[in-house]
Amino acid sequence: MSIIWQIPRNCLGWILVAQFALILPHIERLPWWVMAAYAVCASWRVMVYQGRWSLPPKMLKLVLAVLCFFGIYQTYGTMVGLEPTVALLFSGFCLKLLEVVEKRDVYVIIFLAYFVALTEFLFSQDFLVSAFIFLSILLISTALVALHQHSYDTLNLSSLKKATVIFSQALPLMAVLFIIFPRFDPLWKVPLPSHQAKTGISESMSPGDISNLSQSGELAFRVVFDGEIPARKDMYWRGLVLSEFDGRTWTQAQWKKDFLTESEKESLLGAMTNPLQYTVYQEATHQPWLFSLALAYADDKTIKAVNDFRLVRTDNIHSRIKYQVISDQEAMYGQTLSRIEKTLEVSLPRTGNERARKFAEMTYSRSTGDRDYIDKILTKFNRENYVYTLKPPLLGEDTIDEFLFDTRRGFCSHYASTFVFLMRAAGIPARVIAGYQGGEINPISDTVLVHQFDAHGWAEVWLDGDGWVRIDPTAAVAPDRIEYGLENAMAEEGSFLSDTPLSPLRYRNITWLNSVRLQMDAFGYYWSSWVLQYKGERQLQVLQSLLGEVTPWRVAALLMTVSSVVLLIVFGHLIKGRGEPKAAVYVKWYLRLCRQLEAAGYVRDASEGPIDFARRVDRSNPQWKKTLLSATRSFVRLSYEQVSQREQSLLVKQLRRDVLSIMYQLRVK
């Protein structure tokens, strides 16, 4: 198969570099065979360029495309969704290398690369990711520049330099457009079905579920308080209320999903006597629930309050969001409980965990009331040989019995589940709350960082006259977990983030490393707050500070002013560059040789060629014959022959050596 048009080697090199840079951020989420396909396609393209292989036939390309479709379907089980679509796009992007025949094919693969670069923003918009994608776009633009530079037969940095100059000229306009143009929801805001593992608290809780999250150092959400930050032991971030129990798993009750009316929300706000205001920056969970302190109120149309006193979003959270909350942890809530609600909150499976049921009945019969019974259960956890561990033994069918009387080793979910079971067995309304507890304070940004390992489960019991009251049985077993965090509680066991030994969170005791981590986190917060959240009221405030009054004429004047300044700088640079062209290095060395020979009495005539001049000098003084002819031969080849870049470098070095040798002989003479 004949190749009609060949990619310049410099351009091909930059295309391969740009493709590798684009694939790199997706390595963890793309199937391994996509990277293998890229390696095969890139190697095949190089072999074609070198003339060792021919382009693959149409049938082979068809087979490769079908295999990609089949591989994506086998990996994800469907062709619909965010991850399979991205994998399909990358597969086509790699296979396109085998179809480049004409110049327009190169334009297709380069323009496709620009689109592929944006796919990373579907998953993350952090500063480091954004900076890397900016670099990737620069590499793509370098390939586009190199497409029109046929003089370079190897990867050449001059293409990168020219692309960098173009980017630098565009930066001022980019900044102005970012400041003045209104924000629209981008592509990555569109709700797309995702096959990515859901991050964070799930909608059910079984023994060991939360302990799995405790091996993750990923950020769950960040909180900025308007005033003083509460004590760590007081920060219980409610997420889910689990009221139904099947003997092993706690789940949400269907009726709990009823939303409060606007008047009911306003009554909640009115019941707050000591309100606490804060802003939450929550990471993507692909779930609708939000996290807040007890008795929360949010004045946001996209946020609904549920009748179990938690907050949910009207749609799933596919990217980082920001919402403002008002809470009052001292306020009572749920003082009245209907018969239906009470029936639900005391219900248990008809059979199973018989030992725990009998223990609850016996203990309650010896108690003076609900509060005394609660104290007796917490005292049992505190004084008997119960162990708080991230590595609890597996439980069988009667999970409550086995944990309470046999293993006595568990995580927060074990203690919360068992405590609520014992409450219900005694007829006290109780439920499990799943969320996060505590958080790390970053002193640089004054924010609270809540990580996945802060996931926690606790209980709420309903007491007559007090409503729903938070009870955390884990505090009776491992108070260090509540006061100081999971890392401190697991210090002796050594299981904190044991599955991620390279996580910087494991080395917070190393001062300089922890300082770097906090600095990077603070920078990420400022990036999210001032760049990703630059819209609406904040954008209007910035424009008012720049323009005074925001009017179309003033905005147009700002844009025209910046554009004019940039164009004047570019125009001045172009005018400045219209002077005499700079001589090549080899020309400078040859002219230096001519000046040295002229000083020795050998003047080159204006019409005399380099070879004729060398012969004339040789006839007058043959002692320089070999060196002079060698220098002249190198100069002629560099000036009039088409040589490779490597050979050009060798000839320049040889010319320099010969000129320096003749100069030395002239001085000695």
Residues labelled catalytic: 412, 456, 472
Q: What are phi and psi of 250, to 5 degrees?
A: -95, 135
Q: How remote is the C-alpha of 348 from its chain's centroid?
A: 43
Answer for the pair 204, 250: CB distance below 8 angstroms, yes or no. yes
Question: Residue 125 and residue 121: Cα distance in Å, rounded?
Answer: 5
Answer for the pair 387, 408: CB distance below 8 angstroms, yes or no. yes
Q: Where are the alpha helices (DSSP H) in 577-624?
A: 585-599, 610-620
**The tokens of 555 are what?**
């905005």
Question: Residue 377 and residue 98: Cα distance in Å, rounded?
Answer: 70
**β-pairing verdict for 204-205 and 250-251:** antiparallel
Q: Whose CA is closest to 333, among 308, 306, 297?
A: 308
Contact partners, residue 457, CB within 8 Å, separation at least 6: 205, 210, 412, 413, 415, 416, 417, 432, 433, 434, 435
3-class DSSP assignment, residue 296: strand
Burial status of residue 333 (CB atoms within 10 A of its CB: 0-12, 13-18, 19 or more):
middle
> What is the longest distance spanned by two Cα atoms in the chain?
127
| Residue in the structure block whose two tokens are 């003047």 | 603
Q: What is the DSSP letter of 181?
A: S
3-class DSSP assignment, residue 241: strand
Host H or E run for residue 297: strand 296-297
Contact partners, residue 303, CB within 8 Å, separation at least 6: 290, 311, 312, 313, 314, 323
Tally of CB atoms within 10 A around 622: 10
What's the number of CA atoms in the CB half-sphere (13 Å) around residue 83? 20
- Give me the DSSP letters along 522-539: HHHHHHIIIIIT--HHHH
Phi-psi region of 452 (alpha: psi -120 to 50; beta: other; left: phi over 0): alpha
Question: Residue 311 and residue 296: Cα distance in Å, rounded?
Answer: 7
Question: Residue 381 and residue 437: Cα distance in Å, rounded?
Answer: 20
Using CA atoms, how far residue 201 sits from 14, 332, 435, 496, in Å, is 43, 25, 7, 19
Rounded to 5°, the CA angle 243-245-246 comes to 155
The alpha carbon torsion through 412, 415, 418, 419 (nearest 10 deg) reads: -110
